[in-house]
């Protein structure tokens, strides 16, 4: 890959997006206000982004509604819808480097990851749903000689997509692509910390020929723009990824307004269990380290709890620590960097607070624990590992959303399964064993939406993604996500 100087040059040359995309046009907020968009790379302001509010949300929803009702997208021949979505995927691919640099600058993630992970994932997600959109079939009911009955999947209408800051464009695409493929209009509210790639997506959608109003992108704060979307009487569904606290609010907003559907992808405290008969300790150690430190630990499925059998715990932990010591915070735009900055000063402080609390609760600090690269002005935290974390400790129960691993030892397989389930969350879990029966039993007994055996995060767009318990409900990815954006209609025709 090329050099830091190259990516800095690319960054300087980009005209940073700053306006909302509403009704097919780039627009400042109606109030004229802008908010400072800060890069966690060095804490400086990148640009001022339109601070949209209730009035802008109203305009975007009205535009989405017009587009839906007149059928300019919904009733477009599936061949043409598909062509438009593939054209958008091609434009994202064309601008992959620009998008990756924007994502890296705005989130603090390593450019390498944005280029090789986020942006290709965005393209393949869009292509997956573009390919799927003409393979949506209804059913024919049993009927009688004088009645013919069938079902159709109909788009819901206007979808409000509210997304988080950790994988801003990918999380947006997990919602935008299936919602558009089903024929809906979308109003996308990106997280305020990194709004740039969503705004660029709105621009590219226009260039790709998506009709005006079909994809509106409205940057702004959660408590204003996000709330206005959640309470809107003309939004048919909120598709949300983010924290449980905001998920709760969105369900309230739904009840207070028009009973819009809500789907929630929330947080996690995901366990990775290493049984004594782990088939490959080196592979497991690699996944234990990267399962928590990828994207600075800012991953909803982060393997933040490592449950390891006491017979192998010391040797296994040594392997994890050896890998983790090589993961050093670096400049996100430097191509060699594999661990960047945390998204904001606030998120960094949260991680540091949990680190302090864990030490006070008696866990043994084995690595890291401090802020890093302070001179850069950015928001960096060292990869941190705590051993002997008690199952009741905050670090074992609460989502940090940062690079902090909690290690707990166990004796019996059933104890490990019990510990894995001893959480309000249920997003992901991993387990390492040679024992086929144990693998099957544990995979079934663990209450989580995603279970990986002998690998971590070992799945892709073809498999549903989402949580049990307080990790939410509704699924992203796979064909299940497509049907989430549709209503099921029964039609019965009496034959006379």
Between 166 and 287, CB nearer to ligand NAD: 166
Only one of the segments 40-48, 259-267, 331-339, 376-384 lies at the binding site for ligand NAD (rule: CB under 6 A); that segment is 259-267
Instruction: Using alpha carbons, select from 355, 326, 237, 340 the residue that is nearest to residue 298.
Output: 340
Q: How far apart are CA 273 and CA 82, in angstroms?
A: 42
Q: Which residues, listed in sequence order, are joined to residue 262 by a DSSP beta bridge?
A: 238
Two structure tokens written together for 64: 């989405």
Contact pattern from residue 415 through residue 444 relative to ligand NAD, giving x for each residue in contact according to CB under 6 A and a dash for the rest: ------------x-----------------
Is the Cβ of residue 195 or residue 330 nearer to ligand NAD in the bound state? 195
Q: If you write DSSP's letter for every residue of 104-130 in order, what string do you get?
A: HHHH---HHHIIIIIHHHHHHHHHHHH
With CB under 6 A as the contact rule, the residue among 177, 246, 389, 481 that binds ligand NAD is 246
- The CB-of-135 to ligand NAD minimum distance in angstroms stands at 25
Question: What residues between 64 and 123 interact with ligand NAD by CB under 6 A?
Answer: none
**Alpha-carbon distance 329 to 69, whole Å?**
50
Tell me if 199 contacts ligand NAD by CB under 6 A: no
* 103, 265, 334, 382: the active-site residue: 265
Site track 131-160 with ligand NAD (rule: CB under 6 A), x = hit: ------------------------------
User: How many positions of this chain bind ligand NAD (CB under 6 A)?
Assistant: 28
Instruction: Tell which one of 164, 219, 340, 426 touches ligand NAD (CB under 6 A).
Output: 164
Count other C-beta atoms under 10 Å from residue 326's C-beta: 10
Q: Is 226 in the site for ligand NAD (CB under 6 A)?
A: yes
Phi, psi of 236 (to 5 degrees): -90, -25
State yes or no: residue 243 binds ligand NAD (CB under 6 A). Answer: yes
H or E element: which one contains 148? strand 147-155
CB of 399 to ligand NAD, least distance (A): 6
- Helices 413-421 and 436-445 sit at what angle, rounded to 10 degrees? 20
Tokens of 181: 């493929």
The label of the residue with tokens 């909120």 reads 238
State the Cα–Cα distance between residues 342 and 329, nearest whole angstrom.
10
Ordered strands of the 364-367 beta sheet: 364-367, 384-387, 404-410, 305-309, 271-274, 428-432, 450-453
CA-to-CA distance for 420 and 391, rounded, in angstroms? 10
User: What is the chain's length?
Assistant: 496
Q: Is 227 in the site for ligand NAD (CB under 6 A)?
A: yes
Q: Which residue has the tokens 């968009």?
A: 37
Tell me which of 61, 101, 115, 171 binds ligand NAD, using CB under 6 A. Answer: 171
* β strands within 232-378, DSSP E: 237-241, 261-265, 271-274, 305-309, 364-367, 371-372
In the list 266, 348, 385, 389, the residue contacting ligand NAD (rule: CB under 6 A) is 266
Query: What is the DSSP annotation of 459-475?
Result: --TTS-B--SGGGEES-
- The least CB distance from residue 175 to ligand NAD, in Å, is 10
Among 267, 383, 402, 403, binds ligand NAD (CB under 6 A): 267
Instruction: Find residue 101's DSSP bridge partners.
Output: none
Closest to ligand NAD by CB, 171 vs 389, is 171
Q: Which of 56, 192, 331, 387 binds ligand NAD (CB under 6 A)?
A: 192
Concerning whether 300 is annotated as a catalytic residue, the answer is yes
CA dihedral 194, 197, 199, 203 (to 10 degrees): 170
Q: Is 222 in the site for ligand NAD (CB under 6 A)?
A: yes
Q: Are 189 and 215 in contact (CB under 8 A)?
A: no
Catalytic one among 192, 300, 334, 399?
300
Check binding of 165 to ligand NAD (CB under 6 A).
yes
Contact region with ligand NAD (CB under 6 A), list: 54-62, 116-124, 141-149, 260-268: 260-268
What residue is closest to ligand NAD based on CB? 222
Terminal Cα distance for the chain, rounded: 70
Closer to ligand NAD at the Cβ: 211 or 222? 222
Q: Which of 11, 38, 114, 162 binds ligand NAD (CB under 6 A)?
A: 162
Site string for ligand NAD, 386-415 (x = CB under 6 A): -------------x-x--------------
Distance separating alpha carbons of residues 375 and 371, to the nearest angstrom = 11
Angle, vertex CA 342, rays to CA 338 and CA 345, nearest 5: 155
- Nearest distance from C-beta of residue 268 to ligand NAD, angstroms: 6
Q: Which region among 40-48, 150-158, 162-170, 203-211 touches ligand NAD (by CB under 6 A)?
A: 162-170
> C-alpha distances in angstroms, 473 versus 138, 455, 479?
24, 24, 16
Q: Is 265 a catalytic residue?
A: yes
**Binding region for ligand NAD (CB under 6 A) out of 163-171, 201-209, 332-340, 372-380:** 163-171
Q: How far is the CB of 201 from ligand NAD (least distance, A)?
A: 15
Min dist CB 203 to ligand NAD, Å, is: 19
Structure tokens at 282: 């080196």
- Tell me the C-alpha distance between 328 and 334, whole Å: 12
Residues in touch with ligand NAD (CB under 6 A): 162-166, 171, 189, 191-192, 222-223, 226-227, 230, 241-243, 246, 249, 265-268, 300, 399, 401, 427, 467
Which residues belong to the active site? 265, 300
């Amino acid at each position: 890959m090329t050099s830091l100087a190259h990516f800095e040059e690319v960054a300087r040359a980009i005209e940073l997006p700053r306006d909302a995309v509403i009704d097919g046009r780039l627009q400042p907020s109606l109030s004229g206000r802008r908010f400072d968009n800060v890069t966690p790379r060095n804490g400086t302001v990148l640009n001022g982004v339109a601070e949209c509010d209730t009035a802008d949300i109203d305009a975007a929803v009205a535009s989405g509604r017009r587009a839906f009702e007149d059928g300019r997208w919904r009733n477009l021949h599936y061949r043409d819808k598909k062509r438009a979505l593939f054209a958008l995927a091609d434009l994202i691919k064309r601008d992959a480097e620009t998008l990756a640099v924007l994502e890296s600058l705005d989130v603090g993630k390593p450019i390498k990851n944005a280029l090789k992970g986020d942006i290709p994932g965005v393209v393949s997600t869009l292509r997956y749903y573009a390919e799927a959109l003409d393979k949506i079939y209804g059913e024919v009911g049993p009927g009688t000689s004088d009645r013919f009955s069938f079902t159709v999947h109909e788009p819901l209408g206007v979808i409000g997509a509210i997304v988080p800051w950790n994988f801003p464009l990918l999380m947006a695409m997990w919602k935008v692509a299936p919602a558009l493929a089903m024929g809906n209009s979308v109003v996308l509210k990106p997280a305020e910390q990194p709004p740039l790639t969503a705004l660029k997506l709105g621009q590219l959608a226009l260039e790709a020929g998506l009709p005006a109003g079909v994809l509106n992108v409205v940057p702004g704060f959660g408590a204003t723009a996000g709330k206005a979307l959640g309470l809107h009487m003309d939004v048919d569904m909120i598709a949300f990824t983010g924290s449980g606290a905001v998920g709760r609010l969105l369900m309230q907003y739904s009840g207070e307004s028009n009973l819009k559907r809500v789907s929630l992808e929330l947080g996690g405290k995901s366990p990775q269990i290493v049984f004594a008969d782990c088939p490959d300790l080196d592979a497991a150690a690699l996944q234990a380290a990267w399962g928590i430190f990828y994207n600075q630990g800012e991953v909803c499925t982060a393997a933040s709890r490592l449950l390891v059998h006491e017979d192998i715990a010391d040797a296994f932990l040594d392997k994890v620590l050896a890998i983790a010591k090589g993961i050093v915070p670096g400049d996100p735009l430097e191509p060699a960097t594999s661990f960047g900055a945390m998204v904001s000063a606030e998120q960094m402080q949260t991680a540091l607070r949990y680190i302090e609390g864990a030490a006070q609760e008696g866990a043994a600090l084995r690595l890291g624990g401090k802020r890093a690269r302070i001179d850069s002005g950015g928001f960096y935290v060292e990869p941190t590992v705590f051993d002997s974390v008690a199952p009741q400790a905050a670090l074992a129960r609460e989502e940090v959303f940062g690079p902090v691993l909690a290690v707990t030892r166990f004796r019996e397989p059933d104890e490990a399964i019990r510990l894995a389930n001893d959480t309000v969350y249920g997003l992901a879990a991993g387990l390492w064993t040679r024992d086929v029966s144990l693998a099957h039993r544990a995979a079934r007994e663990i209450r989580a939406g995603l279970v990986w055996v002998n690998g971590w995060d070992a799945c892709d767009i073809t498999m549903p993604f989402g949580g049990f318990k307080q990790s939410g409900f509704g699924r992203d990815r796979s064909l299940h996500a497509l049907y989430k954006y549709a209503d099921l209609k029964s039609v019965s025709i009496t034959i006379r």
